[in-house]
Amino acid sequence: MQQILDLLPRIKELLSYDSSAPLIFNSGLFLFLFVAFLSVYLLLRRTTTLRILYVVAFSLFFYYKSSGIYFLLLAFAAVSDYLIAHAIVRTDDKKMKRRWVAASVVINLGMLGYFKYTNFFIDIANNLVGTGFLDFQNIFLPVGISFFVFQSMSYTIDIYRGEIKPLERWIDYIFYLSFFPQLVAGPIVRAKDFIPQIRKPVEVSETMFGRAVGLIIIGLIKKAIISDYISLNFVDRIFDEPALYSGFECLLGIYGYALQIYCDFSGYSDMAIGIALLMGFSFPKNFDAPYKSATITEFWRRWHISLSSWLRDYLYISLGGNRKGKVRTYINLLLTMVLGGLWHGAAVRFVLWGALHGVALALHKMWLAIVPWAKAKGEDMNPLFRILGWFLTFNVVCLGWLLFRAEDMQTVQVMLYQIANNFNVNIIPQVVEGYKFVIGLIALGYFMHFIPEKIDHDLMRKVGGASFWWQVAMLVLTAWCVMQVKSSDIQPFIYFQF
């Protein structure tokens, strides 16, 4: 009895919110909690309503462990848009329908704007009027608010457009909005794809289970081995003090960060999709080997697919898309990407990152209109143009990542100066020797990324087709490898800040 009493403070600590230790997929605590959760979930798989209530409770707890009391924002969004959706359907007045959907957009963007952009606009006002005009606010940014706000807005907009019908039960809507595998960093799942799965019987076939295990393994390798290690042991050092490093090291730091952010975010998506599959839910692919792209348009069809398609369907098309002439099309592309950049963060560097991609997309669209033989996708090009297109696209994307990662524009200037003026080829062997494990992981990451799609699918099928105990052994081996390379602290996912 005394042993149980002694454990209570520890249990209370583990279940309480700690801003320095969010609950993330690659932590031991999540593994322990998820195994316990899944055991009960499978027992409830035939009692639909009880299962839904159980998942909602765990999802809200999961978000509480990430953002504390701000989990109430999620509940508020669920109540607000559930009621607005029914109000849209009840009225036949088109003007009133527009007002209701506008209310949903204002409420959601109002929440996002306050928590994410208040200090950004205060900084702009102080720069325009004078320092000290407004005081900065101590505002906590709830984890993943950008994701569930976009997801909730898409629900009411789709109802307004007549593409889906509103859910009859509020508990189903909060299940959709709070579903923990994709809650804090996506993918942004559309209501029309997810809602039909909520009340269907839970069925996890051997194929689904095997694919889930494969996705979780590859996600852990990407995030906890490749991304975290090269970040802590090389990339962060370069970006923190670029003037101390040669141009070659700065360039390698940029290419390293390109791999880091891909492995970090796609690793999270892989694990989210895998965890959802273990629960009987299917999510669409969120990344499709984006660095294989031979054009910037192709890149955005492969990178963060759920966000890029959201921006296309709800922002670009709403602005007029390509229906109002060429010039307006280019302006719409630029506006969409600038706002997409601002979605990522309240800083000038994110706006510049979005503007770079907007200009690149507009120039590519202009190129397609001017040059008859130009292609939008690399697979349609001849080999020489495909290689040239890939080289140009990859380096434009990496230039964007420099803007995305650097803390300020001075860091950008220093790194570009070092690359242009201090590219000392003589120290390359010394750098390779000094960072051989880091460079080895970078090489491994890019090798995994560029292997042919058929080989990738064959490997996933072999993992999925292996016996249960072989799959468990592969998971254990992956966990052991993670333990060998991990730092003392669990590294949060990069997109948690967005």
The catalytic residues are 344
Using an 8 Å Cβ cutoff, are 158 and 164 in contact? Answer: yes
d(CA 181, CA 177): 11
**φ, ψ dihedrals at 57, nearest 5°:** -60, -45
**φ, ψ dihedrals at 94, nearest 5°:** -60, -40
Using an 8 Å Cβ cutoff, are 449 and 291 in contact? Answer: yes
Other CB atoms within a 10 A radius of the CB of residue 49 amount to 12
User: Contacts by 108-113 with C-beta closer than 8 Å and gap 24+?
Assistant: 108/77, 108/81, 108/149, 108/152, 108/153, 109/149, 109/153, 111/73, 111/76, 111/77, 111/145, 111/149, 112/145, 112/146, 112/149
User: Distance of CA 185 to CAs 177, 188, 189, 266, 496, Å?
Assistant: 13, 8, 11, 10, 6
d(CA 264, CA 401): 14
3-state helix, strand, coil in the chain (%, to 5): 75, 0, 25
Q: Whose CA is closest to 442, among 452, 458, 431, 430?
A: 431
The whole-angstrom distance between residue 30's C-alpha and the CA centroid of its chain comes to 19
Using an 8 Å Cβ cutoff, are 280 and 41 in contact? Answer: no
Both tokens of residue 33? Answer: 């909690």
d(CA 365, CA 348): 25
Using an 8 Å Cβ cutoff, are 59 and 180 in contact? Answer: yes
Q: Which residues contact 348 (CB under 8 A, 6 or more apart)?
A: 409
Q: How many helices (H) and strands (E) does the chain have?
A: 22, 0
d(CA 415, CA 349): 15
d(CA 436, CA 324): 53
Q: Is the peptide bond before 196 cis (omega within 30 degrees of 0)?
A: no
